[in-house]
Amino acid sequence: MNHFELFELPYQFELDGSSLSSTFRELQRQYHPDNVASQDEKTRLQAVQKASQVNDAFQTLKDPVRRAEYMLTLQGIDLKDEQQTMQDPEFLMQQMTLREELESITDSQDEAALFDFGEKAQSLYDALILEVKQALAASQWQEAAVIVRKLKFAEKLRHEVERVEDQLMS
C-alpha cells in the first residue's frame, strides 16, 4: 500500500492539508502501539511498524518536495539513489550567484537585504513548485524529475536564509 492509498488520497501533487492532517490523527489513534500493549509481541511489533509507516507517509506527503520525489519513485524514478548531476548550466549559475549574494548579505549583516533576498528565494521556490505540480499533473515524469532536482537547490537556499536569519537575530 502506498502513502496515497494509506491516507485514502488521490494520487496527485495537490493535496488538501486539513484532510491529510485529520486522516493522520485518525490513523495515529487507530494504530497507536498503546492500543495493543497487553497483546502478544507479534501484534505489538506490527502496531509499531504500522505506526511508523503512518508517520513516514505523513512526513512525506505533507512536504511538497518529498511528495513530488515520492510520486516519481512510484513511477520508477528514484532521485535519492541517482548519481545524475544537474544538467542546466544556467540554473547552476543562478544558484552560484544567489549563494554569493547570500554570503555577502551574511557578511554585511544587512537585515533588510536579507529580508528581500528571502523573498527572492521564496519566489524561486514557489515558481518551481508550480512547475512540478504542472509536470506531475501532465504525467511528464522526466521533466518533473528535473524540476525536483532544482527544487532541492531552492529548498536548501531557503533553509540557508533561515539559518542566516537566526544568526542575525542572536
Q: What is the pLDDT of residues 68-82, one digit of tens each?
A: 999 999 999 988 766
| Mean pLDDT, rounded, for 127-147 | 97
Q: Does residue 11 have a pLDDT over 80?
A: yes
Helices and strands (H, E) in the chain, number of each type = 7, 0
What does the DSSP 8-state code read for residue 37?
A: T
Summarised one tens digit per residue, pLDDT across range 99-121 is: 999 999 999 999 999 999 999 99
| Mean pLDDT, rounded, for 118-141 | 98
Percent of the chain with pLDDT strictly greater than 70: 97
| Mean pLDDT, rounded, for 4-23 | 95
| Mean pLDDT, rounded, for 146-155 | 95
Work out the pLDDT band at 37, boundaries 50, 70, 90.
confident
Work out the pLDDT band at 84, boundaries 50, 70, 90.
low
Q: Supply the pLDDT for residue 39.
A: 86
Q: Supply the pLDDT for residue 44.
A: 85
Q: Supply the pLDDT for residue 98.
A: 97
Q: Supply the pLDDT for residue 81.
A: 67
| Mean pLDDT, rounded, for 148-162 | 96
Determine the Cα angle at 21 with ends 18 and 27, to 5°. 140
Cα separation, 73 vs 64, in Å, equals 14
Query: How buried is residue 20: exposed, middle or buried, by Cβ count under 10 Å (0-12/13-18/19+)?
Result: middle
What is the C-alpha radius of gyration for the chain, rounded to an integer number of angstroms? 20
